[in-house]
Structure 1
Amino acid sequence: MGANKIKKNVTVIFFKIDAKDEYFDNFSLNYNTISDLDEHVRVITHRDRKHLVRMDNFSISDEIKTFSATIVRERNTWQIKATRDGVISGINLNQGIIGDPYFITIIPSMRIVYGFTSGPSGTIKSVCRFMLDQLNTDRKNKIKLDLIPREKEYSALNKIPEFDSIHFKMNSSHLNDLTDDAPTFFKELASTPLIGPGMQLSFDLAFNDESYNQITKENVVEIVNFLSDLDGCSGLKVKGKDAEGNPLNMDFSNSFINYKTEINTRNKFIDEDTSLRVLKSAMQELTKFKLD
C-alpha cells in the first residue's frame, strides 16, 4: 500500500424489508421513473435535511435483479468555515450539499436492502428507509426494516419475561448526529456535558437499580437493535430470566448479518468504483446465508 493511501474500515449492514406485496410489485416501475430524470438525480428535503439521491444504473449480481442508489445526506453540523488568516464565515453553497455518502442496494425479490457509509453508521437504517419511502406510491403502506439475525436465537430476546441487566461498550462518536428514531437513552446520553468526542464508553445497566427502573422490555429490544447497527460496539450482552425464573445470558455482539472489509483509497471520500466493489462483495457474503 502506498504511503499516500488512506485506510478505511467499512461495515455493510443488511435489513429485511417489511412491506405489502404491492410495494414490491411496483418497485421496478417506480425506480425507473426516478432514473428517467435528468442525470438520474433528485434533491429531496426530509426532516430539515437535504438528500441528494442518485440512481446508479449498475448491476451488483448477474443472477439476481438489484437496484442501487447513492445518497448524500446533508450534515447540518457544518456551521462555519475558518481560514488561516483568522476569517470566520458561513458556508455558502451553490446548489450543492456538504454531507455524508450512503451507498445502498435493494433486492426486491429477496425483500432485502443493504448499504454502508463513511458517515455515522447509526444512520444507515434511517437512510435506507428514506430511500425506500421515495419509491413508495402508497403512503398508507408503511415500510419497516429489521436487522437480519445470523441465528434464530435472536427472536428469543422478545420472549424473555424479565431482564436483569445489559452490558455494552461503544465510542462516543456514535452519539453525534443521532436520528429522530434513536432510543431516548442515547439522546439523553448525547446531551450529557461530561462526555467528550472520541471517548470509549462502557455501560453495565442493572434494571433493579433505581436509576434504570424505568427501562421497559421494549426499551431493551430497542437498545439492542440500535447498538447492533453500530460498527465498533462490543460486548453487547443481556442477562435475564426465563419463564421458570432460571438465569439467561445472551451475547448479541455479532448476532446480525453484516459484511466488514477494509479499503485503501487515495481519496478522503469513497468513490463510485470502490463503492461498487464493496456492494458486490457484500452481495456475495449475503448469498452464503440461508434466509427465509
Structure 2
Amino acid sequence: MQQITNTILMIRPVAFRMNEETAINNYFQEDLELKNAEINTKAQKEFDDFVTKLKAVGVNVVVENDDVKMDTPDSIFPNNWVSFHHDGIVTLYPMFAENRRRERREEIINRLESEGYLIEAFMDYTSAEDEGYFLEGTGSLLLDRVHKKAYCALSPRADEELLIEFCEDFEYDPVVFVANQSVNNERLPIYHTNVMMALAENFAVICLETIDDKHEKKNVLRHLKETKKEVITITEAQMHQFAGNMLQVKGDNDKKYMVMSLAAHKSLRPDQISAIEKHCEILSSDLETIETCGGGSARCMMAEVFLPKQT
C-alpha cells in the first residue's frame, strides 16, 4: 500500500469565480473586485503554470477541462467529490453546495479509463445529500493509507456518521476532532480538514492551535506518533496562507515533492522549511487568485489517482 502517488487528476477551469454557495462556511474566500471573466483568466494562468511545474519534475498530471455549460465555479477542486483507490474503487462524495454536485461528471471517470486505469467498482455516498449530510472527499478525509487511519475535522461539510460509514466500508480507523478558526471573535469550524493538516509519508504538517479540545488534540498527536510521523506544527496565521494545504507526490525516479502554493511556502519559517526538506523537496507555485476567490489551494486542486493500471 502506498501513501503517495505519481499520478494526479486536475480540472482546468472555464468559469472560475468566487462561489457564492460555498462562501457561507468557507471563511478563506474573499471577494476580488474583478469581473468574473478576468478572475477566470487569471485562474487559468495560475493553473497552467502549476501543471507545467508538476510535469517538469515528472508528476503524471491528467488534465481534464471543465464544461462551461455546467456553471461549476469550484470545479478546479476535484478532490472533494471523488477519490481513486488502489483496489480499483472510485468513491463519490456528497457535496454541501448544490452547484458543486454538478462537478461529478462521468466523462472525467471515462477519461481515466481511456488513460489505461482500471476501475473495478464505485462506492457512492451521494444519496446523503438528500438528507442534508455531507463528506467532501479528501478535503474532509485525510487518509493515512498505509496505517488505515482517517483523520477528520467535523464541520457542516464533514458528518461524523458518514465518516464512520466510510471507515467501516474501507476498514479505516476514524480519528475525529473539531478544528476551529477565529472569525469575527468567534471560534467556528474550519470547512475542510486539509486546510489545517497535511499528511505525508513520514511526517505531518498540522495547525494544532485550531484543535481547541485538549483531549482531541492529544488523541490526534497520539495517532500521528503511533505511526511514527514527524509532527511539523504551523500557526493559525500560517494556515490562513494555506500552509496546511499541501500534498506530497512522486516525480521522476520516485523523487518526492511537497507541493504547496507560493503563499504557503513564503509563510513558512526557516526551521519549518528545513523540517520538510529533510524528507523531500518543496515545489511551490503562485495560486493567489485561486486561493483568494476559491478559498482552496494546491492540495485541493489535485485528486490523487491510486487506481491500478490495466494489464
Measured against the shorter chain, the TM-score band is: under 0.3
Normalised to the residue count of structure 1, the TM-score between the two structures is 0.25
Q: Which has the higher strand share?
A: 1
Q: Which has the higher helix share?
A: 2
Normalised to the residue count of structure 2, the TM-score between the two structures is 0.24
Q: Which has the larger radius of gyration?
A: 1
